[in-house]
Amino acid sequence: MDVSDKLAPLRSEFSLNPGEIYLDGNSLGPVSKNVGVRVNEVINDQWAKGLVRSWSAAGWMAAPLTIGAKLAPLIGAKANEVLVADTLTFAIAKLVGGALKLRPERNIVLTDVANFHSDIYIINEVAKWAGRPIEVRTINRNNLAEELNENVALVEFTQVDYRTGEMLDMKSITKMVHDAGALMMWDFAHSTGAVPLDVEGCDVDFAAGCGYKYLNGGPGAPAFMYIREKWQNVIENPIPGWLGHARPFDFELGYEAALGMQAFVTSSPSILALASLDGALDIWSKTTMSEVRTKSLALTDLFIALVEERLPGVFEVVTPLEHAKRGSQVALRHAESYGIVQALIERGVIGDFRDPDICRLGFTPLYLGFTEVYDAVDRLVDVMNSKAYADPRFKVRNAIT
């Protein structure tokens, strides 16, 4: 299978540890060679030699928009609809705050009870800024139709569940929300670079995602936000700053928003972090999301089949078997999941644990081969047969799991 794999040559673009099988790219992607090239260029040329002149000469000031345009095709957006800045939580805060102003007669925000906790934290906090009472309801996403009514202003869901890898039907959910007169926002943290996305075709209003998972932009890489063109110059940035001003270097005391996505730039961009993400994005010119998706499904199909064949009845495969509902990870449920993950890591298979009982394993087609899937299952079988997961060391969890 590796011999006929069109994406196999891309593995050489990444710096990977010999002997390790890296199944945690859904948490932190590995570094690619282009990242080092781009960051060194910024440090040794633009910063060291250009100094302050590089804000203009090297395009530093425009970087949030130019890198956003580079990322836009990965979510099916227009080049002028994506901005790279801040972190994901801040991006969500800006979009939720702005969206609530667009539906002033409505007072309910719906989000998923299984959503990533940071999303829920920031939505609850931003709701307090609205200037009117806002009720945030955390619901079972499968009951969305029953929860929608004329008082719902905004729905915010994560498109691929961070625990289970379940992928939601973005088009049908967005239409359901719009039919109820509400706005739809998506969190693409576990989607971008993992599954094909079409915000244009799905009529998505707003979206945000991070740069350090499947995009491989580095730890704490900048996030991105998407605002559909029709909402630009209508939605307001609730955290305005000088670089979102129409004339930032006039240093006016009164605020007038810039046009387009520039209005959602708040403060000076982090140039080194942006350079890292910019370099990481270069690899996407060498493949397509269709090719990535085909291989992703083949990798996860193979892993699931091997686990069920070699360890029958040992794990519950939580990730949907149906392709249309599967992201690019596999979640295995077992009462000893934490110890299993730690024992795998000691054997060179890097995954992670999600409370209370999930072994979470990411399958990133850019650098993972089919042989590694077979080898990973071999090591998993060894962990289970030897009961290495029962080692007393694993009874105490690390701070980061």
Catalytic status, residue 14: no
45 catalytic per annotation = no
Given 119, 187, 205, 278, the catalytic residue: 187
Measured between alpha carbons, how far is 78 from 76 in angstroms, rounded to an integer? 7
Among 38, 141, 213, 295, the one annotated catalytic: 213
CA pair distance 126, 383, nearest whole angstrom: 45
- Pairing status of strand 329-333 against strand 358-362: antiparallel
- Among 87, 85, 27, smallest CA distance to 61 is for 85
Q: Quick check: is 116 catalytic?
A: yes
Q: Identify the CA nearest to 75 among candidates 210, 239, 238, 182.
A: 210
- Is 22 one of the annotated active-site residues of the chain? no
Q: What is the DSSP letter of 227?
A: E
**What's the order of all strands across the beta sheet hosting 329-333?**
316-317, 329-333, 358-362, 352-354
212, 214, 226, 367: the catalytic one is 212
Catalytic entry in 360, 363, 370, 389: 360
Closest residue by Cα to residue 158 from 210, 111, 122: 111
Q: Are 190 and 162 in contact (CB under 8 A)?
A: yes
Q: Is 212 a catalytic residue?
A: yes
Contact indicator for 217, 186 with CB cutoff of 8 Å = no
Catalytic residues: 116, 187, 212-213, 360
